[in-house]
Structure 1
Amino acid sequence: MIVRKGFKYRIYPNQEQQRKLAVQFGHARYIYNWGLGQSQDKYPGYNHLAKQLPILKKTSETTWLKEAHSQVLQQSLKDLDRAFQNFFAKRGGYPHFKSKRAKQSARYPQPKESWIAPDGRRIQLSKVGHVRLVLHRPLEGVMKNVTVSRTRSGRYFVSIQVEIEMATPIFAGGAVGLDLGLREFATLSTGEKIAPPQYYRKAQKKRRRLARQLSRKKLGGHNHEKARLRLARLDEKISNQRRDFHHKLSRMLVEENQFIGLEDLNVRGMLANHHLAKSIGDAGWSAFVTMLGYKGEWYGCQVEKVSRWYPSSKTCSVCGTKMEAMPLNVRIWQCPMCGTVHDRDVNAAINILKQSTAGAVENNAWGQSVRPSTDGYAGRTRKPTRFSGW
């Protein structure tokens, strides 16, 4: 099967190349904001806005747009179109204007293999030049587009999307139910519990101190910029730590199991609870579930979701008795009908597995039997330390 993957590398442009990249970033941002301004009453669509680009370049006030790569401007309008499509499909909020103080990016849609030097130390970017590249892992597949970005901390990266042919996955392993939570990041139906890393909470004290230092600096001064960079570097470190944890855990789960069942959580609605919002945001459930989905397709693991209204926590996994109420502070409870003592999270994970595999346990989509995982980790708590790649 043919899939699309992204390879992200660090680049080190010199001062002149940084200036040229700033031109590409600034022009792409201007076109995005211009298109959003044209869509205040009604979104006219990508085709209508793209036809106005040549006219906009000939206008005396915006002739400087010719300095930018034409396809970079078109891709910026495509990003705006995707943002509106997500808004119409209720997958995201209304698009916002971009700021030069946020993360910057520009995308080249038709790269060539010759852009990367044979020794892998340089990459050629149109209207920028040959930029120093750190190719820390080999690039595979056929290049489809190249995105250059600059983070808030001033680091530059290039993300190369490729099409790669992967062997049809062999579905092997067991089935496991997954209950995501805050006390434990994930509880498996086998009884195994994954401890929450809580990277944001661990760095919260230092972050508050850096934020106070930034607030005391005069806006526009050198000290203000240095304080802003210190805070941005910390935020970037927290984000990288969380992403690394998600990648390792999701890869480990899809390699060990043939089937994963989990809840369809309404994360956006749960973030409205101000008592739990910080912990929910620190966990990053949405990004983790997304990784499980596409990695499951790559490596032979089916991921199914059950309804968020399914009472997994207060239903006995042995006899099916449903409790009328189950407060969050109740972690251990006993079924009044069969007398089974349940761990709240383990019981929920078992019920999620049963519900997600209903009608497909004996004969699933690949004609193989799906069995609960018996990897011997019942009752243990571990961290996903084993890592063989994303």
Structure 2
Amino acid sequence: MFKALKVRLYPNEQQKILLEKHFGACRFVYNHFLEVRTKYYAEHKNSKKKGLNAFDTINMLPQLKKEYVWLNEINSQSLQHSLIQLDKAFRAFFKHNADYPNFRSKKDNQYFIVPSGFRAINNRLIIPKFMEGIVYRDKSTIPEKIRQIIITKDVNRYYASIQYETDEELPKGVGTIGIDMGIKSFLTTSDGLQVEPLNVLKKMEKQLKRQQKKLSRKIKGSNNWRKQVVKVQKIYQHIRDARTDFNHKVSTAIAKHYGTVVIEDLNIQGMVRNHRIAKSMSDQGWYQFKQMLAYKLGWRRAELIEIGRFEPSSKMCSNCGNIKHDLKLSDRMYHCDVCGFSIDRDLNAAINILNMGMIKVGRGTPEFTPVESATAAELQSGGLRVDIL
């Protein structure tokens, strides 16, 4: 099983300079050989060998290092891995899975990859060109079977994402639930658990607008403008960190207690086009939550089932199966016109999602059991507001 551990680095001033050189050099090599490969194809598109691959560009790297001597300050394996990433971008383009590779900018995410030559001693991470070690701080212990390390920068912080292999087996949950994602409630489960949304962007909106207004008054490119840019970036950083922490806590609690989870395949990109709910939807972080839930269930060999996005989960009565076509978004309670059944709208949808998922995998309609108190307690201890319907 492969996992990743992200730790924060605390480099000294000299190490910060060298880290910045690594970011810039890897970006330079990527952009240089993107141009080389583009020109080569234009000149040889009628030849037998139409383009270059990763092996060809890696062989051309020593000559480039002679031309630009400052590249010798950088870990050679990290430079080579930039060319491997470039080759992956071209392969994705040829398979029609992505657009033609673009040149990297300083505004893009800054990172470089260290494929080997690393170890952790005490609270220091040792990688090539940083043999004295970079101080890190994390509650977790860095594992021994490390595959590779990705060094990243977020505003003024440096991180190391450590990818490693482990034989640890996590216990599988025993429950079965359907989950309905929403705006009023972040999620509602079929056994009656509701988690209130964090809405961190909404909480930080006034402060963000104030700092953005100050930024608009600065002369672009000036020192004061750069300082103000960092202030705005730090607010966005706080929003990302809070949302990520929230999604980690909720997804971990669900993965621990449930062995089968059924969710809806939502068209998030299409739903965001609705300007009335776009900001609220973006503030939820549904896509990130879904990714986290998927790999955490995978760690425990649990099952994640997706039903189609066009299934009438909200409009169908979970008691009799009648479909209410005139249901409005403002209707928070579902009242069935056929059987007279009344239920919370989101809970009704979650029950339908569970039933549809079970039918999809051929297990029929499950029996509902009350939510385990341990799940609710764990979500509450994580600082989340939980309501039991």
Same fold (TM over 0.5): yes
- Residue in structure 2 matching 1:134, options 116, 130, 137: 137
* Structure 1 residue 116 corresponds to structure 2 residue 112: no
Q: Is the 8 A contact 1:174 1:371 kept in 2?
A: no
> Would the alpha carbon gap of residues 147 and 13 (structure 1) be closer, same or farther in structure 2, given more than 3 Å must change?
same
Match of 1:72, as an amino acid? S
Match of 1:374, as an amino acid? P
> Would the alpha carbon gap of residues 249 and 157 (structure 1) be closer, same or farther in structure 2, given more than 3 Å must change?
same
Q: Cα RMSD over matched residues?
A: 3.0
- Residue in structure 2 matching 1:107, options 113, 116, 133: 113
Task: Classify the secondary structure of the residue corresponding to 1:358.
Answer: helix
Match of 1:27, as an amino acid? A
Q: Structure 2 matches for 1:194-209, cutoff 5 A?
A: 194-209=195-210
- Which of the pair is proportionally richer in helix? 2
Match of 2:231, as an amino acid? R
Q: Is the 8 A contact 1:248 1:385 kept in 2?
A: no
Counterpart Cα distance in 1 of 2:110 and 2:355: 45
Counterpart Cα distance in 1 of 2:260 and 2:160: 34
* Structure 1 residue 55 corresponds to structure 2 residue 99: no
Q: Is the 8 A contact 1:57 1:64 kept in 2?
A: no
Match of 2:163, as an amino acid? Q
Displacement after TM superposition at 1:375 (Å)? 2.0
274-283 vs 214-223, which deviates more?
Answer: 214-223
* Structure 1 residue 375 corresponds to structure 2 residue 377: no
46-55 vs 295-304, which deviates more?
Answer: 46-55
Counterpart in the other structure of 2:19: 21
Displacement after TM superposition at 1:172 (Å)? 4.0
- Residue in structure 2 matching 1:150, options 136, 149, 153: 153
Displacement after TM superposition at 1:324 (Å)? 2.6
Match of 2:371, as an amino acid? D
> Would the alpha carbon gap of residues 273 and 32 (structure 1) be closer, same or farther in structure 2, given more than 3 Å must change?
farther
> Would the alpha carbon gap of residues 174 and 27 (structure 1) be closer, same or farther in structure 2, given more than 3 Å must change?
same
Match of 1:79, as an amino acid? Q
Deviations 1:132-178 (A, max 9, x none): 222432123511101111212x11111211101122x5444221110
Counterpart Cα distance in 2 of 1:6 and 1:179: 28
Match of 1:136, as an amino acid? K
Counterpart Cα distance in 2 of 1:376 and 1:134: 35
Q: Is the 8 A contact 1:194 1:382 kept in 2?
A: no
Counterpart Cα distance in 1 of 2:100 and 2:282: 20
> Would the alpha carbon gap of residues 244 and 190 (structure 1) be closer, same or farther in structure 2, given more than 3 Å must change?
same
Q: Structure 2 matches for 1:307-318, cutoff 5 A?
A: 307-318=308-319
Task: Classify the secondary structure of the residue corresponding to 1:385.
Answer: helix
Q: Is the 8 A contact 1:102 1:151 kept in 2?
A: no
Displacement after TM superposition at 1:89 (Å)? 6.8
Counterpart Cα distance in 2 of 1:384 and 1:110: 39
> Would the alpha carbon gap of residues 256 and 159 (structure 1) be closer, same or farther in structure 2, given more than 3 Å must change?
same
Displacement after TM superposition at 1:275 (Å)? 2.3
Displacement after TM superposition at 1:382 (Å)? 8.9
* Structure 1 residue 280 corresponds to structure 2 residue 305: no
Q: Is the 8 A contact 1:182 1:196 kept in 2?
A: yes
268-277 vs 5-14, which deviates more?
Answer: 268-277
Displacement after TM superposition at 1:6 (Å)? 1.3
Deviations 1:56-115 (A, max 9, x none): 541465454333222212222333444455667777666543221343111101244xx2
> Would the alpha carbon gap of residues 347 and 93 (structure 1) be closer, same or farther in structure 2, given more than 3 Å must change?
farther
Structure 2 regions of 5+ residues with no counterpart? 43-48, 383-389
Displacement after TM superposition at 1:229 (Å)? 1.6
Counterpart Cα distance in 2 of 1:371 and 1:9: 43
Counterpart Cα distance in 2 of 1:307 and 1:70: 47
> Would the alpha carbon gap of residues 175 and 194 (structure 1) be closer, same or farther in structure 2, given more than 3 Å must change?
same
Counterpart in the other structure of 1:366: none
Give me the TM-score of the superposition, normalised by structure 1.
Answer: 0.85
Displacement after TM superposition at 1:46 (Å)? 10
Counterpart Cα distance in 1 of 2:126 and 2:136: 10
> Would the alpha carbon gap of residues 266 and 189 (structure 1) be closer, same or farther in structure 2, given more than 3 Å must change?
same
Q: Structure 2 matches for 1:66-81, cutoff 5 A?
A: 66-81=72-87
Displacement after TM superposition at 1:18 (Å)? 1.4
Structure 1 regions of 5+ residues with no counterpart? 364-368
238-247 vs 89-98, which deviates more?
Answer: 89-98
* Structure 1 residue 386 corresponds to structure 2 residue 381: yes
Q: State percent identity of aligned pairs.
A: 31
Q: Is the 8 A contact 1:108 1:145 kept in 2?
A: yes
Counterpart Cα distance in 2 of 1:222 and 1:383: 46
Give me the TM-score of the superposition, normalised by structure 2.
Answer: 0.85
> Would the alpha carbon gap of residues 111 and 321 (structure 1) be closer, same or farther in structure 2, given more than 3 Å must change?
farther
Task: Classify the secondary structure of the residue corresponding to 2:316.
Answer: coil
Displacement after TM superposition at 1:15 (Å)? 1.8
